[in-house]
Amino acid sequence: MRVELQNVRHVYAPGTPFEVEALRDVSLAVEPDEVLGIVGGTGSGKSTLAQHLNLLLEPTSGRVLVDARTLKGGELRRRVGLVFQFPEAALFAPTVEEDVAFAPRRLGLDEDVVRQRVRETLELLGARHLAGRSPFALSGGEKRRVAIAGVLAMAPEVLVLDEPTAGLDPATREDLLGVVRALREGGTSVVLVSHDLDEVAEVADRVCVLEEGKVRAVGTPEEVFYAHPEASLAPTTVRVVAPLREGRPEVGRPVRFEETLAALKGLLEGRG
Amino acid sequence: MMAGRTLGQFYPVESPLHELDARAKILATGIMAVGLFLVDSVAGFLLIAAAVVLLVAASRVPSGTFLNFLKPVALIVSLTVIFQVFFSREGATLLEWGFLEVHEGGLVRGLFLALRILLLVSTAALLTATTAPVKLADGIEDLLSPLKRLRFPAHELAMMITIALRFIPTLHEEAQKITRAQAARGADFSEGGPIRRARAMLPVLVPLTIGAFRRADELAEAMESRGYRGGEGRTRYRELRFRARDALALAAAALVVIGGILV
């Protein structure tokens, strides 16, 4: 499934003194089977863009197309799962199992299919052992896993994660990035909205940089990050390698941590 | 986010009414409220209505905005009028249509009641539109402070009002966020009858309530860590000053009301 934004513009509170143009003429597509990273500073329009991908926000002008067709919001929401920032704020059921079952039940699935979905999703997020507990008695990281499972249990074709790792410990964060990779392997596209360039660098197939509501750059991580190796636009790996590349093109353009480590090793050994 | 302007919202402009001491305005509103129940003549209502119109003009709140403040009560007012007009059998019959009869007494009473409610709400709206919530709470605390001797928790009450007002927009925003998060999970808040719709609100209300308690805890800790220990010996950043013009305003309000009752 391919979700495409065409010339999307979004204005909050139009016609009032509080009017804000959050997105200005954004065109961008989420391709099938990819992890698309969306990066940008606070107020760059990342979260607004995320909510357009399942039409929770309607564009002020422009279109949202799915496989070149327009869909109604309700239909789109079944196929594109959106996990908001701090999704644990929306946990509500007495048990984890019930909470995760909410979305698949809303889809009208059979009870045994729902149960199976819940089990599989909790398993994927490493939260199977929490099924019988109250979501309010969990730790921050556990709540986050459960809340993400609550959306993933709909089995969406595209999963949009808005700052999924904000405020998490490094271990849970690594686990979540692992989940993103696993989903992509399983054929689900993932849109990872984040201000953390390092984590986007680890998992993204393509990167889109938003700035003041406009797409400033879009492409593979190598293209985007090596075009702007400044501190505010590139992950640590690129900021380390970019200055070393001068006169040593053989280093290449590594972005992920392991690639970068291998490239630097190669450089050191070559010299010795 | 934008909650829309509704009843009881502060309208921040500069005007003679905004400058008045909160206590004077609260007392004047109280006098008007009591007076409105005693007024019983067309002339009296006209006098008070004229005074309210003048005050609205003096408050520099645009009249359109001010009328918006009154919108929420429009339904109640029209219902009361309808009931009074059709179900009161007092005085001469003016109209007869099937089982419906309109009597003179009912018409007059309905009109008086509508005016009474509208003027009451207008004075209350004037108070909240021209007085910042914090000043309002300060004023209430000060007016209630003589009751402290009777162990009435005046400071606590004022603090509660301030905090409640401060958190209305926050909770509103939180409710919107949760609603959207549940909508993303397929929740639908518009289908089915009233009971189904009320049930559909549960996934929003439960986290909202839990969030409010968490917020309350955090706020209490933040206040304590900044040295808050209740009202005892606490000084104010904004000092209240009751000046000559405040006394004058209060006297004017009392005069208008007495005039309205007497004519």
pLDDT at B2 over 60: no
Q: Decide if B211 contacts A89 (C-beta within 8 A).
A: yes
Distance CA A183, CA B88 (A): 71
Residue B199: its pLDDT value, please? Answer: 85
If DSSP codes are grouped into helix, strand and coil, which group holds residue A62? strand
B83 and B152: one domain? no
Distance CA A49, CA A30 (A): 12
The tally of CA atoms less than 13 A away on the side-chain side of residue A153 is 34
Would you call B68 an interface residue with chain A, using a CB distance cutoff of 8 Å?
no
Q: Is A48 exposed, middle or buried (0-12, 13-18, 19+ CB in 10 A)?
A: buried
Residue B134: its pLDDT value, please? Answer: 84
Using an 8 Å CB-CB cutoff, list chain A residues near B2.
Answer: 13, 16, 18
Q: Decide if B123 contacts B257 (C-beta within 8 A).
A: no
B191 and B127: one domain? no
- For residue A77, give how far its alpha carbon lies from the nearest alpha carbon of chain B (Å): 6
B122 and B171: one domain? no
B77 and B119: one domain? yes
Distance CA B247, CA B127 (A): 16
Which of A165-174, B115-124, B234-243 is the least confident region?
B234-243
Residue A231: its pLDDT value, please? Answer: 77
Q: Residue ranges per domain, chain A?
A: 31-46+74-219, 222-272
Distance CA A140, CA A49 (A): 26
B162 and B209: one domain? yes
Residue B5: its pLDDT value, please? Answer: 44
| Confidence class for position B7, pLDDT limits 50, 70, 90 | very low
Q: Which residue carries 């301030």 as its tokens?
A: B162
Would you give the DSSP letter of residue B150? G
Task: Name every residue whose Cβ is closer than 8 Å to that of residue A37 and which is 6 or more positions away in sequence.
Answer: A192, A194, A200, A201, A203, A204, A206, A207, A208, A221
The residues on A that touch B, with CB distances below 8 Å, are 13, 16, 18, 51, 54, 56, 74, 77-78, 81-84, 87, 89-93, 102-103, 106-107, 136, 150-151, 154
Q: Decide if A118 contacts A97 (C-beta within 8 A).
A: yes
| Confidence class for position B191, pLDDT limits 50, 70, 90 | confident
Q: Is B260 exposed, middle or buried (0-12, 13-18, 19+ CB in 10 A)?
A: buried
B90 and B45: one domain? yes
| Architecture category of domain A31-46+74-219 in CATH | 3-Layer(aba) Sandwich (3.40)
In this prediction, residues B77-87 reach a mean pLDDT of 86
- For residue A19, give how far its alpha carbon lies from the nearest alpha carbon of chain B (Å): 10
pLDDT at B6 over 60: no
Residue B94: its pLDDT value, please? Answer: 78
For residue B50, being part of any structural domain is answered with yes
CA angle centred on B142, ends B140 and B146, rounded to 5°: 110
In this prediction, residues B64-75 reach a mean pLDDT of 86
Residue B3: its pLDDT value, please? Answer: 42
Question: What is the Cα Rg of chain B in Å?
Answer: 23
If DSSP codes are grouped into helix, strand and coil, which group holds residue A270? helix
- Of A215, A237, A201, the closest CA to residue A40 belongs to A215
**Total domain count, chain B:** 2
pLDDT at B4 over 50: no
Which of A194-203, B11-20, B186-195 is the least confident region?
B186-195
Q: Which amino acid is at B110?
A: G
If DSSP codes are grouped into helix, strand and coil, which group holds residue B240? coil
Residue B8: its pLDDT value, please? Answer: 57
Structure token digits, residue A244: 């070393």
Would you call B190 an interface residue with chain A, using a CB distance cutoff of 8 Å?
no
Q: Which residue carries 């702007």 as its tokens?
A: A228
- Of B259, B263, B257, B260, the closest CA to residue B31 belongs to B257
Task: Name every residue whose Cβ is closer than 8 Å to that of residue B81 and which is 6 or more positions away in sequence.
Answer: B110, B111, B113, B114
Low-confidence stretches of chain A (pLDDT beneath 70):
271-272
By Cβ distance, the residue of B180, B184, B207 closest to A151 is B184
B70 and B177: one domain? no
Query: What's the predicted TM-score (pTM) here?
Result: 0.78
Task: Name every residue whose Cβ is closer than 8 Å to that of residue A81 and which is 6 or more positions away in sequence.
Answer: A54, A151, A152, A154, A156, A158, A159, A160, B184
Domain that holds residue B62: 16-131+240-262
Alpha helices for chain A (secondary structure H): 46-52, 73-79, 96-106, 111-124, 140-152, 170-185, 197-203, 221-227, 236-244, 257-271
Note the ipTM here.
Answer: 0.89
Which of A90-99, A170-179, B66-75, B215-224 is the least confident region?
B66-75
B40 and B97: one domain? yes
For residue B23, being part of any structural domain is answered with yes
For residue B183, being part of any structural domain is answered with yes
- Name the average pLDDT for chain B: 87
Give the best residue of B185, B210, B215 to mutate against chain A (max A CB count within 10 A): B185
Structure token digits, residue A190: 């993932």
pLDDT digits (tens, 9 = 90+) for B141-184: 899 989 988 988 888 888 888 888 888 888 999 999 999 999 99
